[in-house]
Chains A and B, each alone.
Chain A
Amino acid sequence: MSREKDAANYAVVFFAAVSILLLLFPVSKIAHTVRIAASYSLYPSLHYGARYTHYVRNVPDNFLLLLETDQENRALKEKVRELEVRLQNAAAAAGEGERLAVEMGLSRALPWKGVWARIINKTPADWYGSFFVDKGAEQGVAINDTVLGMEQGHAGLAGRVLEVYPKFSKVLLLTNGAASAVGSIEPEGLEALVEGKGTWMLKMNYIPEEASLAEGAEVVTSPGGLLFPPGIPVGKVKKVYSRESFMNFITADVVPSVNVNTLKEVFVVRRNLPKELLGARQAEKK
Chain B
Amino acid sequence: MSIIYEVVIYLAVGSTYWWWSQNLTVFGLAPNLMFAAALCAAILAGPVKGIAWGFFLGFYADMLGSDMFGGYALTYTLMAYGVYIIKRHFDMDSLFSQLVASLALSWLSILFYQGLVISFSRPSNLDLRVFLSEPFLNALVVPVMFRIFYQLKRGLGVL
Contacts and interface: CB of A to CB of B under 8 A. Distances in A.
Binding partners A and B: yes
A40 B67 CA distance: 12
Contacts, number: 83
B98 interface: no
B5 to A, nearest CB: 21
A7 B84 CA distance: 12
A16 B66 contact: no
A26 to B, nearest CB: 9
B51 A39 contact: no
Given A20-B74, A21-B70, A23-B71, A38 B55 contact: no
A22 B46 CA distance: 25
Contacts of A4: 46-47
A8 B80 CA distance: 10
A39 B69 contact: no
Instruction: State the majority secondary structure of interface residues on A.
Output: helix
Interface residues of A, number: 29
A40 B66 CA distance: 8
A8 B81 CA distance: 7
Interface of B: 18, 22, 46-48, 51-52, 54-55, 58, 62-71, 73-74, 77-78, 80-81, 84, 116, 120, 122-123, 125
Given A11-B47, A16-B78, A36-B66, 6 more contacts: A11-B52, A15-B54, A18-B70, A20-B74, A21-B70, A35-B69
Interface of A: 4-5, 7-8, 10-12, 15-16, 18-23, 27, 35-36, 38-40, 42-43, 46-47, 51, 54-56
